[in-house]
Amino acid sequence: MKLDPTSDEFRAAAHRAVDWIADYLDHIRDYDVLSRVQPGDIEKQFAAQASEDGKPYDELLRDFETKIVPGITHWNHPAFFAYFSNTGSQAGILGELLCAALNGNGMLWKTSPSLTELETLSLRWLRDALGLPNDLFGIINDTASINVFFALAAAREALGLDIRGKGMTGRDLPPLRVYCSEHAHSSVDKAALALGFGQTAIVHIASGDDFRMRPEMLAEAIARDRAAGALPCAVVATLGTTSTVAIDPLPEIAAIAKREHCWLHVDAAYAGSAAIVPEFQWLWRGIEHADSIVVNPHKWLFTPMDCSVLYTKRPDVLRQTFSLVPEYLKTTDTAEINYMDYGLQLGRRFRALKLWLVLEHYGLERMRNTLRDHVRFAERLADELRKRNDVELLAPQSFSVVVFRLKAGDDATMQLMERMNATGKLFVSHTKMRGQYGIRVAIGNGATEWEDVAQVLAFLG
C-alpha cells in the first residue's frame, strides 16, 4: 500500500503550515516567551495509544496550534534573553524545510555529493568570514557538546599511546589530565567522563576577578600533575564562558599548551560568531595555536538548531581516531572527504543547507550589523544599570551579555527574575558567581529591538 498516494493533501497542508510560520514570526510578540504549562499538561491531551486509522493534516495542524504550541517556550522570540538564544531566521527555516524534503544522508560523498560539498564550501566561507586561519578543516555536528567530545578523543589519540588499539584499561598507562577554567561549560567534563578519562582527570583552573582562567595557575597545575606522574593531554580555553562571557587569555594559555605538548581546544560556541564583525576579531588572538575550535552558528549566527562547527588543523588525527570503514561502505571514487570518517555518526543530515542559505541570503554585512546592534543593546543596558544605586553588574558586560544583581541580595534578585519571567513578555535566566546570584540577559535574536531589552529596566522602576 502506498503511504502517500498523491501529494495533494501534503501540498495544501504545507501551504497552510508555511502561512502559519509566517504569521507566527510576524506576531511572535503576542506569545508568552516562557510556556506556562505544568508538567504533564501537554501529554494528557493526547490519546494513550497511537492512531490506528490516521488523521487528516487539517486536524493535526489544529492540534499543533491548540495543544502543542502552548507548551512551547519561544526560543525565536525577540525577548528571549535566557541561556544563549538559539537564533533561528527565515532563511534557516527554509533550509530546514528543504533539508527534510531531500532527507539526504551525507555519510559518504557519493551518498549525496551536494551534502558533502556544501558543507565543505560553507565552512570555508564561514572560516574566512570569521577571520580564522585558512588551514582549518571544518565539520558540522549537532552541538558543541559532541564537538568537544570529538576534540578530546582526538587529543587522546594524539598522545601516541595507541589507545585506539589497546584501550585504556588493563595496561600500564599514566593518569591523563584535561585542563579547563572553573567556568568552562559542563560539556567539557561530560566529554572527558564519557571518554573514560575519569572525574579526577578533569582539572578546573581558578579564574581571576574577571572570571578568566589564570594562566599561571594552569602552569602550576600541569607542573604539579607531571611531578605526580600524570600525563597532561588537553587544555580547553573558553572564549565566551556560559555564565558571563569571560574570554580566557588565549595567547598565554596557548604558550603553555604548546610547551607541555597538550592538545589545545578552544570553545567559542557562543562568542565565536561575533568574529564575522572585523572589530571583534581580537577575540582570536592566539587562535593560530589551537588544534580544534568550536563555533555554534545555532547560538548567534541565525542558523536554527542544530548546527555546531568543529574546526581543526589536524583532521588527520580526527580521522585516525574515528575512521572505520566496513566493506559495505567502501568506495572506489576519489572524493577527498567522506565526513563519516571524522566522528561517531554514520548518517549525517544536510545541516549545511541551512547554513549556506543563511550566509547567502543575508550576506555577511547584514549579519554583522545585526550582531553590532546586539552588542550595542548590551552596552546600553549595562550603562543604564551602572547609573542605578540599587543594582550592580556581577561581571563586566561582554559581547551581547549583561549579568546583574540587586544589591538588596540574592532573594530580591531571584524574585525580580521570577517577576520578569511570569509576565511572559521576556525570558531571562540566572547564574551564580562567587556565591551571588545574578540575572543574565543574553541578546541574540535577529528581530530584537532596543524596546525588547529596555523591558528589563522597566522592572527596576
Q: What Cα–Cα distance (Å) separates residue 412 from each residue in 388, 409, 432, 460?
A: 16, 6, 14, 11
Which of residues 105 and 429 has its CB atom nearest to ligand PLP in the complex? 429
Q: How many residues does the chain have?
A: 461
Give me the residues paired with residue 391 across strands.
406
Distance in angstroms (rounded) separating the CA atoms of residues 240 and 269: 8
Nearest by Cα to 156 from 180, 187, 192: 192
Q: Does 238 bind ligand PLP (CB under 6 A)?
A: yes
Least CB distance from residue 109 to ligand PLP, whole Å?
26
Q: Determine the Cα angle at 81 with ends 214 and 212, to 5°.
A: 5
Give me the helices (H) in 131-162, please.
144-157
Pick 215 or 240: Cβ nearer ligand PLP: 240
Write the CA distances from 238 to 38, 88, 283, 344, 433, integer angstroms.
36, 24, 11, 24, 17
Is residue 269 a contact point for ligand PLP (CB under 6 A)?
yes
267 is a contact residue toward ligand PLP (CB under 6 A): yes
Q: Which stretch binds ligand PLP (CB under 6 A): 170-178, 224-232, 234-242, 384-392?
A: 234-242
Q: Is 397 in the site for ligand PLP (CB under 6 A)?
A: no
- How much is the CA Rg of the chain, to the nearest whole Å? 24
**244 touches ligand PLP (CB under 6 A):** no
* Contact between 84 and ligand PLP per CB under 6 A: yes
Identify which range of 208-216, 238-246, 350-358, 375-383 contacts ligand PLP by CB under 6 A. 238-246
Q: Is residue 342 involved in binding ligand PLP (CB under 6 A)?
A: no
Piece of 59-67, 237-245, 350-358, 390-398 that binds ligand PLP (CB under 6 A): 237-245
Instruction: Say if residues 323 and 341 touch (Cβ distance below 8 Å).
Output: yes
| Beta-strand pair 308-312/137-141 | antiparallel
> What is the smallest separation between the CB atom of 411 and ligand PLP, expressed in angstroms?
26
Taking the complex as a whole, the smallest distance from the CB of residue 351 to ligand PLP amounts, in Å, to: 13
Q: Which of 85, 120, 308, 448 binds ligand PLP (CB under 6 A)?
A: 308
Residue 243 as a binder of ligand PLP (CB under 6 A): the answer is no
> Contacting ligand PLP (CB under 6 A), which of 116, 181, 187, 207?
187
Cell numbers that stand for 37 in this block: 504549562
Residue placing its CB nearer to ligand PLP in the complex, 104 or 444: 444
For residue 55, how many other CB atoms are within 10 A of its CB? 10
Q: In terms of C-beta density within 10 A (0-12 exposed, 13-18 middle, 19 or more buried), how is residue 43 classed? A: exposed
- Quick one: which of 120, 143, 398, 421 contacts ligand PLP (CB under 6 A)? 143
Q: Does 225 contact ligand PLP by CB under 6 A?
A: no
Stretch touching ligand PLP by CB under 6 A, among 52-60, 139-147, 389-397, 428-436: 139-147
Q: Does 189 bind ligand PLP (CB under 6 A)?
A: no
Residue 63 identity: D
3-class SS at 173?
A: coil
445 is a site residue for ligand PLP (CB under 6 A) = no
Closer to ligand PLP at the Cβ: 296 or 321? Answer: 296
Q: Would you count residue 185 as binding ligand PLP (CB under 6 A)?
A: yes
Q: Does 207 bind ligand PLP (CB under 6 A)?
A: no
Amino acid at 425: K
Closer to ligand PLP by Cβ: residue 151 or 269:
269
Which of these segments, 52-60, 108-116, 117-125, 236-244, binds ligand PLP (CB under 6 A)?
Answer: 236-244
Is the peptide bond preceding residue 23 cis, with omega within 30 degrees of 0?
no
Pairing of strands 263-267, 292-295: parallel
CB-based contacts of 211: which residues, under 8 Å, 6+ apart?
Answer: 181, 183, 241, 243, 244, 246, 395, 433
What is the closest distance, in whole angstroms, from the C-beta atom of residue 122 to ligand PLP in the complex?
A: 18
Contact assessment for residue 179 and residue 206, using Cβ atoms and an 8 Å cutoff: no
Position 270 contacts ligand PLP (CB under 6 A): yes
Q: Which positions touch ligand PLP (CB under 6 A)?
A: 84, 143-145, 185, 187, 238, 240-242, 267, 269-270, 296, 308
